[in-house]
Chain A
Amino acid sequence: MLAQVILDGIMMGGIYALVSLGLTIIFGVMRIINFAHGEFLMLSMYASFWLFQLFGVDPYVSILIVVPMMFLIGLISFRLIIQPILSAPEMAHVFATLGFSIMLQGLALYFWHADFRAVRTAYSSTLVKLGPVFMNFPRLVAFAMAIATIIALHLFFKKTYVGKAIRASTQNAMSAQLMGINLKRIYMLSFGIGIAVVGLAGAVLIPVYEVFPTIGSLFVMVTFVVVILGGLGSIPGALVGGLIIGVIESASGFFLAPALKEGVYFVIFVFLLLLKPTGIFGRA
């Protein structure tokens, strides 16, 4: 039983990690906490849903469409909402992105209504047996995708020129500019990448979760906890943070009460902020 609880936690953790990647990248690069993060997830889940519903595209195949689409949406959102507030005080970030998140929820509610939408495929309820424990297939895929994405991003930032440019801008924006890096473009690109990763997460999550306009708020708080636990701006941090939170959540749901799951990691969150706000891998 315990093994199952832990495994469920790890699987969930992987999902949290995948969802949090975008947030940590965006914060790491331009120090914006994007309160609308959950809504981008919601949008990509809807995108994947409609592709399935209207054109019969399998969610995992829809990745090919949803990811570039979300990348573009990210670029546009950056230009319209984020860029104007980059130089504003931090509280402006909170409110602008919060307002944007409410707008997106409103749009989803208006166009697609409050009904829960699910994608049922042949493999939706498939269970994979591994010794004494069972794993739900779509969750397993989500987990695998999370790992793969993290590795891919890690390589991207370490090996490619653009990746290095982004890292340079993160460490010292002024110096990066002096070295000829176009900061605005880097920011826009990073934001786009962050949202594209969220797009991937959405496509991969729709077989696991039903989507509805406010699903974003379900994820956004836990995403913040994961990101701060792992260290803002750190990709391995998002993974480690996600796994830890996933396991804690699963365990507290099992040992305490399902309703208190959220409460536990919020309390942890507050202590984390007080004791080590830089998180596990974060820089000050």
Chain B
Amino acid sequence: MPLTLHIKNPKFYLTLLAVIVLYAVVLSIRNQFIGDILTMVFLFAGLSLSWNILGGFAGQFSLGHAGLFGIGAYTSTLLLTRFGLNPWLGMVVGGVLAAVVGGLVFYPCFRLRGIFFCLASLAFTEVMRIFSTHFRGLTEGAMGITIPFKEGLAHMMFRGKSGYMLISLSLMLIIALVSMIIKQSRIGYKLVALREDEDTTETLGVSTANNKFIATLISGFFTGCLGTFYAHYTLLIDPESVFNVMFSVEFALLAILGGIGTVLGPIIGAFLLIPIDSLIRGYIGQAQQGLSFIAYGALLVIVVLFLPHGVVSWLSKFSAKIFRSLPGGSAQAARAPIEPAVKTAAEHPARLVFPPILEIKKLGKSFGGLRVINDFDMIVNQGEIVGLIGPNGAGKTTLFNLVTGMHRPDSGTIIFKHHDITGLNPPHKVARLGVARTFQVVKPLAGLSVEDNVLAGAVERCPNIARARQKAWEIIELVGLNKYAEVKAGSLTLGGRKRLELARALATEPDLLLLDEVMAGLNPTEVEEAIELIRGISKRGLTLLVIEHVMKAIMSLADRIVTIHLGEKIFEGTPEQASKDEHVIKAYLGKEYRIC
């Protein structure tokens, strides 16, 4: 849902109000203990928000952010104590260094799935701790570095807590604003999509690696900056305290507790947990130290088990009602459906003609000892609908995978629109050239709404979000999912999911569309509807290569049939000819088949 920055939107004026209140509170607080807690709350909220950009939006669970935090702290501190560099400049340098190190270290780790990335990032924090303890010449080792106190804004040091509170609050708000902007931008949609399903998002033309890298840079920069602030707050940094894995865990925990992937979540998490943390430490004291651990650990477990989506998702149950009842709220709630732009349907800009659009020559692929594609030739002409049929295991889906860049062929060439795409990978490169596909087992981005799913396909090509949204709506109408636009993709029926898969593929504005058993699992009425839909798509100028087992459908749709058996082409011709060809009959159709 777009956040329209309109003065009448309750979300907007409430946020503005909250910001004003926060500043007012900060300026009026005199109590040092509370001042300390608030400073820590804002600091950790900022750190958690930064973590959230990578861990929440992109879904890359990092336990390495303490490493980036420490880099920021040490960089600015060393620049200050050794070269007298102003801490504000040092903060920027520290932030940039943290971003760069984070990017360099995390980038190769992105291809590690889930828990392995987590472990690698954990190892990074530990390595930073060990190296900074050992290389005393650089970092003064385990003793740490103290910052000599000099009061003043220019020195980022203050006697009371007010100055610190103002700075950490401002930093937190800046990071929150950046998060909001990211969330509404094209990159935000891409990150959210790749978080749901990376492989599928690649096929939409999105370079998952590049987007995660950008997220890391932003996340790292702010984390580093906050490290500098921390150094100037505590006036002493040492490896054990800044390169501390527990900090990494805390950044993540606050986001999870509040609501991972949201902007409000990390802030709520910090407001909830940090004061409790301080109070426990204050009141329980040294002898009972174990108790604070027990409570903290228990909280982690409870949050994971019972509140995995965080406080924000629990609150959103009531918040929708509350927002509607506020002045200006109901106008927002009754959001007009976006008007699709003036019929872009027939508007495929005068297409360059590529006869043929796809040319496969002598393609070969083996998996281990099994030859799955052998000496395969095929041509698809622009504007055609070509049906690819054959028994299970013949190699049809493998062929699709080879064309779209998910696997690399062992031999042969694939030419698409005059580009040699043989072995081109990652898949997003092929997708960007104009090849889209659907999957045999549908892969909706289950946690996202139908609209967001289709948007994920549209954002790569469209220069701005508004345009992308219009395109998405137009396509949603085309496939007949308008009533379900806000519904979570995971709760659609199979028929709905198949339409969604198609819509998402269409949103990438392909020239060639590969459909993999679209009719599977549909009842006869749905099959009829699908046939009509596919005909309509073909009329828009797309070329279609269709794998299908539902003979009635493919025989009536296809201009040409190619039959594949045991990885080899055994027939090519019209549907009529196919039904009579002895090889096709023997391998696949069976003697009694007649075209109806």
Contacts and interface: CB of A to CB of B under 8 A. Distances in A.
Interface of A: 33, 81, 84-85, 88-96, 98-111, 114, 213, 221, 224, 228, 257, 259-260, 262-263, 266-267, 269-270, 273-274, 277
Contacts of B300: 95-96, 98-99, 102
Contacts of A221: 122-123, 126
A270 B304 contact: no
Given A106-B291, A260-B130, A273-B116, A94 B61 contact: yes
Given A90-B114, A92-B308, A270-B120, A106 B290 contact: yes
A270 B298 contact: no
B304 A102 contact: no
Given A85-B304, A221-B123, A274 B297 contact: no
B133 to A, nearest CB: 7
Given A93-B115, A110-B291, A99 B298 contact: yes
A91 B61 contact: yes
Contacts of A103: 293-294, 297-298, 301
Contact of A110 (B120, B127, B294): B294
B127 to A, nearest CB: 5
B119 interface: yes
Say what secondary structure dominates the interface of chain B: helix
Interface residues of B, number: 41
B304 A273 contact: no
Given A95-B303, A267-B127, A102 B296 contact: yes
A84 B305 contact: yes
Among B118, B253, B294, B308, residue most surrounded by chain A Cβ atoms (within 10 Å): B294
A259 B304 contact: no
Contacts of B126: 221, 262, 266
Given A92-B308, A94-B115, A263-B134, 10 more contacts: A91-B61, A99-B301, A102-B296, A103-B294, A106-B297, A111-B290, A114-B289, A221-B122, A270-B120, A274-B109
Nearest to B134: A259
Nearest to A277: B116
A273 B120 contact: yes
A273 B112 contact: yes
A273 B119 contact: yes
A93 B305 CA distance: 10
Nearest to A100: B301
Contact of A270 (B124, B134, B288, B294): B124
A110 B120 CA distance: 32
B256 to A, nearest CB: 7
A95 B253 CA distance: 8
A106 B294 contact: yes
Given A109-B293, A260-B130, A90 B115 contact: yes
Closest 6 CB pairs of A and B: A99-B300, A106-B293, A110-B290, A102-B297, A103-B297, A109-B290
Interface in B296-332: 296-301, 303-305, 308
Nearest to A275: B108
